[in-house]
């Protein structure tokens, strides 16, 4: 049993900050991992770290028992599977597709149906935890799928995640959980930035605000995680504004389709859009604090300070 796990052949499609860390976690655990990315430099980096580089998605998935797709969106996942040079038809019979991009649950349900019709398994497996947890193999995976899909994916899941939530048998459940998390995370970042720049506008000691709020009922995981970037005046992107332009956009589209009102998501999305439109799209999402400061004359720490 242990031997058959070690013999698993894995393909990782997408070697960005998340996919690279996930692929590395598996090679480090002794799995045979072939990685592909549209950016040749990303493939070279993976090869330098001991992985196998693939020249095409098709080459990566050839003979793989587990294919982990870590592209940016549902549309990209569909393209990599069913577009020109799509790999779905080239996957080994009985292999499992571990689909980790954040997407509308309806897309996950559609992809699962099409993958399963080819005699393959589909695991709806969005990820949470950021690049740091990806690198250490300590992601949280919010997964749903039939037991066979979980069983087939297990060797990869064990290497990539500290915690795998098994949320149900139907595709789309994992995706829906991820979107609930993104709804909250996206609103909380915007609220944290609205609050800290408002504190700055009033001339409060921002380090003290951080100390008090993180010990009070106003705290959130995101306030605690992101506001140190604002206090340091360092907007190097750990997670960029464009991620939440995308993810709150998905939430808003889902909610509109379901006739569900999301006034907080809508307000937050407008701030991410404004930041992106103002040229901050590739900055760390905590740059929303700078946007609030620019709109109000508040003074934040960092190089914008007089």
Per CB under 8 A, the segment of 19-27, 93-101, 122-130, 152-160 that binds its own copies is 122-130
Q: Smallest Cα–Cα separation from 103: which of 82, 76, 143?
A: 76
Q: Bridge-partner residues for 128, per DSSP?
A: 140
User: Which residue from 24, 109, 121, 188 is in contact with its own copies, where contact means CB under 8 A?
Assistant: 188
CA distance 306 to 299: 8
Per CB under 8 A, the segment of 25-33, 41-49, 116-124, 266-274 that binds its own copies is 266-274
User: Which residue from 76, 77, 220, 276 is in contact with its own copies, where contact means CB under 8 A?
Assistant: 220
Max CA distance (Å), the chain: 64
Q: CB nearer to its own copies: give 118 or 212.
A: 212
Per CB under 8 A, the segment of 14-22, 42-50, 77-85, 173-181 that binds its own copies is 173-181
Under the binding rule (CB under 8 A), the answer on residue 184 touching its own copies is: yes
User: Which residue from 163, 207, 277, 304 is in contact with its own copies, where contact means CB under 8 A?
Assistant: 163
Q: Measure the CA angle with vertex 114, ends 108 and 116; round to 5°.
A: 95
Specify whether the CB–CB gap between 126 and 102 falls below 8 A.
yes
Q: CB nearer to its own copies: give 50 or 218.
A: 218
The set of residues, in sequence order, having a beta carbon less than 8 Å from that of 217 and lying 6+ positions away, is none
Under the binding rule (CB under 8 A), the answer on residue 165 touching its own copies is: yes
Under the binding rule (CB under 8 A), the answer on residue 286 touching its own copies is: no
Q: CB nearer to its own copies: give 103 or 199.
A: 199
For residue 187 the two structure tokens come to 């609103």
Per CB under 8 A, the segment of 8-16, 75-83, 230-238, 258-266 that binds its own copies is 258-266
Under the binding rule (CB under 8 A), the answer on residue 132 touching its own copies is: no
CA distance 47 to 101: 23
CA distance 188 to 271: 12
Under the binding rule (CB under 8 A), the answer on residue 138 touching its own copies is: no
User: Which residue from 67, 248, 262, 289 is in contact with its own copies, where contact means CB under 8 A?
Assistant: 262
Active site residue 201: no
CA distance 120 to 89: 10
Under the binding rule (CB under 8 A), the answer on residue 105 touching its own copies is: yes
Number of Cβ within a 10 Å radius of residue 101: 27
Q: Smallest Cα–Cα separation from 99: which of 130, 66, 129?
A: 66
User: Which residue from 213, 243, 250, 280 is in contact with its own copies, where contact means CB under 8 A?
Assistant: 213
CB of 73 to its own copies, least distance (A): 19
Under the binding rule (CB under 8 A), the answer on residue 268 touching its own copies is: yes
Specify whether the CB–CB gap between 164 and 187 falls below 8 A.
no
Specify whether the CB–CB gap between 91 and 58 falls below 8 A.
no
For residue 200 the two structure tokens come to 């700055």
CA distance 252 to 262: 7
What 3-state class would DSSP assign to 279?
helix
Interface contacts to its own copies, rule CB under 8 A: 105, 128-130, 140, 142, 163, 165, 167-168, 173, 176-177, 180-185, 187-188, 190-192, 194-195, 197-199, 201-202, 204-205, 208-209, 211-213, 215-223, 225, 251, 255, 258-268, 270-271, 292, 295-298
């Amino acid at each position: 049993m242990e031997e058959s796990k070690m013999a698993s052949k894995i393909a990782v499609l997408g070697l960005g900050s998340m996919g690279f860390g996930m692929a590395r976690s598996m090679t480090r655990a002794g799995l045979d991992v072939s990685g592909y990315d549209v950016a040749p430099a990303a493939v070279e980096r993976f090869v330098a770290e001991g992985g196998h580089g693939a020249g095409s998605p098709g080459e990566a998935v050839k003979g793989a028992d587990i294919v982990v797709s870590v592209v940016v969106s549902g549309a990209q996942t569909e393209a990599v599977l069913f577009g020109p040079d799509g790999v779905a038809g080239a996957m080994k019979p009985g292999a499992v597709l571990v689909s980790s991009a954040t997407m509308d649950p309806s897309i996950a349900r559609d992809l699962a149906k099409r993958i399963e019709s080819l005699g393959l398994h589909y695991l709806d497996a969005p990820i949470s935890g950021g690049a740091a947890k990806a690198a250490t193999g300590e992601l949280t995976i919010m997964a749903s799928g039939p037991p066979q899909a979980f069983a087939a994916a297990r060797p990869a899941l064990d290497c990539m995640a500290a915690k795998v939530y098994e949320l149900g048998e139907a595709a789309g459940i994992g995706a829906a959980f991820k979107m609930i998390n993104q709804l909250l995370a996206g609103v909380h970042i915007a609220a944290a930035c609205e609050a800290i720049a408002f504190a700055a506008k009033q001339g409060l000691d921002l380090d003290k605000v951080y100390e008090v709020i993180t010990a009070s009922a106003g705290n959130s995981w995101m306030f605690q995680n992101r506001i140190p970037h604002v206090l340091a005046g360092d907007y190097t992107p750990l997670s960029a504004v464009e991620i939440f332009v995308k993810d709150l956009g998905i939430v808003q589209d889902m909610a509109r389709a379901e006739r569900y009102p999301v006034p907080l998501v809508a307000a937050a999305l407008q701030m991410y859009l404004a930041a992106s439109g103002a040229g901050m799209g590739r900055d760390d999402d905590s740059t929303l604090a700078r946007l609030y400061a620019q709109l109000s004359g508040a003074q934040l720490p960092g190089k914008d300070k007089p």
